[in-house]
Amino acid sequence: MELKISMYDSWKLLTLGTLVGCLLFLVLDKTHQNISLSIARFASLPIKASNFNINYSVGIPNEKTKQNCNIFDGRWVYKPEDRNASYDARNCPFVEEKMSCHKNGRPDFEFLKWRWEANDCEIPVFNGKDMLERLRNKRVILVGDSLNRNMWESLACLLHSSIPSSNVQLRDNSKVPRLFWKAKDYNMTVEFYWSPFLVDLNLNHESGKTVLVLDKLSPNSEMWTGADVMVFNSGFWWVQPGSAKRWDYIEYKGKLIQEMSMEQAYETGMKTWANWIEKNVDPNKTTVFFRSISAEHKTKTPEKWCYNKTKLALVDYYAAVYPKILVDIIERLIKRFSKSQVKYLNITKLSRYRIEAHPGIYRYKDWKNLTEHTDDIVTLRPDCSHWCLPGVPDTWNKLLYASLFFDL
């Protein structure tokens, strides 16, 4: 059968096709206008950050799905709506003067508005009362240098702000380098032991010299035994050059050694610590952490120091200088343990971007007077190693809390 279409039918089809085409064009055009308008409105939104002209996250999320979440792999996200810190250092009795930046006159609060977010999971929100309850009748000890004291002060303030101050006990024992905070209602303590090398630094050696004994643990190690949570660190004091070097001789297997590479000495000393953990710590009763090296933003180039920085370091040019060889050594050593024996609190990456969060010149109460009388602020030795409180160590403790009690 032959199909015939009249001229009238052809006109109707043409008209219908034209109408459909017009409708499609109008729909697509309206959609395009809406998208364009949304983009235009988004682009015109004001930036809320008072000292920033951008709104961004530091670090690029990993699109790959992981079976286990690494809470130390993430990015700093600016949260200007978070106006209140976890505690007020001016009202926390545990913060050293040089860490209490706002008490010493630091005028800005921007460094408190950044939050660390993991790439592949939600980090549990820190809850001080929950941590106290979980650690009822337990001891938490932090052992190491002043960076671990920085962390101890932060943890004490975080927990102290969760309970009435009348239920707290504090001791500072100068004979045994120890800080002791106790929540009496929970019978829970947080203690700090000064031991920057973890091994013995003998100040009274028979030679009359200061001797670093690589195969003997720190004398206060007898007080570590029995703790339920242990957090160690060591690294900063091993790499101090020239007159800042802390020892005259090294002792190993009963022999005094004048020259040994820093890398060899550090690895030998850390093996002594690791052997002590294996022999003296029951992983069924005690959780052990080694906190990684905290970035120092101080180099031979003064303009790269922290004292005049108010923004994060976005590129490696301004990122921290830290002894990567020590990072490699301790990471190799920790791999010899099972995860139940020693956990790695890896805060190196997250701290290296935070060039603006150090005390700098605000370590001094009289910083105004000091800066008025010098043209070279570097001579004042601004603190680019420790951290303002509240600040970055609070994040370390929030990750400690997450690592202790959540299966991530």
Residues labelled catalytic: 146, 383, 386
Handedness of CA 274, 276, 279, 285 (dihedral sign): negative
Tracing tokens 């109460």 back to the chain, one arrives at 365
Q: How far apart are CA 68 and CA 302, in angstroms?
A: 41
Q: What is the DSSP letter of 233?
A: -
Strand 57-58 versus strand 74-78 pairing type? antiparallel
Under DSSP, is residue 35 helix (H, G, I), strand (E, B) or coil?
helix
Which helix H or strand E contains 29, and what residues bound it? helix 7-43
Q: How far apart are CA 121 and CA 70, in angstroms?
A: 8
HSE-up of residue 83 (Cα within 13 Å, Cβ side): 3
Those residues with Cβ within 8 angstroms of residue 199's Cβ, 6 or more apart along the chain or in another chain: 212, 213, 214, 215, 216, 217, 218, 269, 272, 273
Using alpha carbons only, what angle is made at residue 199 by residues 193 and 202, rounded to the nearest 5 degrees? 95
Q: What is the DSSP letter of 122?
A: P
